[in-house]
Each structure stands twice: as C-alpha cells, then as structure tokens.
Amino acid sequence: MIINDWVHTLAGFFILLSLSLGVESSPIFHSKYWLLFTAFVGLNLLQFGFSKYCPMGLILKALGVPEKRA
C-alpha cells in the first residue's frame, strides 16, 4: 500500500472508532468527547483537500511507506 491508501484507511478506522466510543447507543460508548476526535480527523481531511498538506502522510513517509506504486 502507498501513503495515500494508508491515509484513507487510517482516517476511516479512526472515524469509525471514535464514533463507536462517542455515540451513546454504541455498546462500547465511553464519552461524548470522542466525537471531537471525529471532527478533528474530518477537518484534517478537509484541509488536505485544499492545501495538499497531510501530517499523517509526513509520518508515514518518515516510516518508509512508498509514495507511488512500483
């Protein structure tokens, strides 16, 4: 997988996890404040659409994840 694939996969995972922890009807509900993390991930995706700057992409690049398919 390339950086773009990882960013989308991790964003989707974090959104689903934080929704599961933040929605009261969820069996693993913890606190409604987890919904702030959902908003944080969403805002990062939105700002990436405009600026093409992604903090998670930089982290993945530093970890050696390829940018393009071979």
Distance between CA 25 and CA 57 in Å, rounded?
33
d(CA 26, CA 33) in angstroms, rounded, equals 14
**pLDDT for residue 70:** 80
d(CA 35, CA 48): 20
Q: What is the pTM of this model?
A: 0.88
Q: What angle do CA 16, 1, 66 make, to 5 degrees?
A: 120
For the chain, the C-alpha Rg in angstroms (whole number) is 14
pLDDT tens digits for the chain (70 residues)?
A: 999 999 999 999 999 999 999 999 999 999 999 999 999 999 999 999 999 999 999 999 999 999 999 8
